[in-house]
Amino acid sequence: RAYSSGVTAAILLSDLFQSWTEQRKSLTAKTKVEVTSLLNTRSKRRRLPRTVTIDSIHEKNFLSPKSVLEAVVIDVFVLPGTNIYMLTLGDMWSTSTIDLYLHRRYYNYIGQHCILKKGREVVLTGCCLRTAVVEGSGHARILPTEYMVILLDEEQDEDAMLLAAQFCTYSFSSMMEEKSRNDVVYSFYARIEKIETLEPFGCTERKQIVLVDNDDEKIKFILWGEQVSLANLFREHACTGQSLYFQFCAQ
């Protein structure tokens, strides 16, 4: 697969490397980090239902794939001797930080003028914990996950310009007019009106997200199987920007 998940050979090698050079990782020790200085204090959101803290991950040495992590990026770096990007994450409820092996599908969002950088808030799920190779040596880290949402702030000029340029091309009505076209990427910006659990399709879980655009047009976004985990990252009445391949189904 182009974007592999789980434990790869590179991750195993990086574990050994980090165990050998652990002194560089004092940043991830259980020390007080001023995460609040990186967060936008104007937007204090309630925690999502399945949210866990970084402190609790370290205490239990466990992270369920169904858990949600609401975090802020403290650092972005490349593991020495590799092409693997890491994010050091903190949260406003914890005194410790944790490193995440960044999934390769997000590598294009890293760079001088890109959105995945220090101070950016992210929400992720579908995570598994990678403990130290040798017990008592090194720190636990989070393996790559495809299920990550990067949060933008409409009140920040840079973010507002990105939203306008990237996600305001299509309305739902214009998408419906082109529904005969296959394999088209549609980018849109919409408000989440409702998140609902649907009847399973056989043994497959399903959830429905009802989206409303600026013209008050609605569309139903169906999540299947493993995709259902994505619903844990969204809030009703929040706004979302998506670039997706759409397959329209007649009702």
Question: Domains of the chain (ranges plus CATH)?
Answer: 9-150 (2.40.50.140), 157-245 (2.40.50)
Which pLDDT score is estimated for 191? 86
SS3 219: strand
Which pLDDT score is estimated for 66? 92
The stretch 114-125 carries a mean pLDDT of 92
* Residue 134 vs residue 217, higher pLDDT: 217
Residues 135 and 133: their CA atoms lie apart, in Å, by: 6
* Residue 17 vs residue 142, higher pLDDT: 142
Judge whether residue 128 has pLDDT over 90. yes
Among the listed residues 159, 75, 54, 69, the one whose alpha carbon sits nearest the alpha carbon of residue 118: 75
The radius of gyration of the chain from alpha carbons, rounded to an integer in Å, stands at 19
Residue type present at position 213? D
Q: Do residues 35 and 74 lie in contact, with contact meaning Cβ atoms separated by under 8 Å?
A: yes
φ/ψ (deg, to 5) at 26: -60, -20
The burial of 152, by beta-carbon neighbours within 10 Å (0-12 exposed, 13-18 middle, 19 or more buried), is given as buried
Residues 175 and 187: their CA atoms lie apart, in Å, by: 10
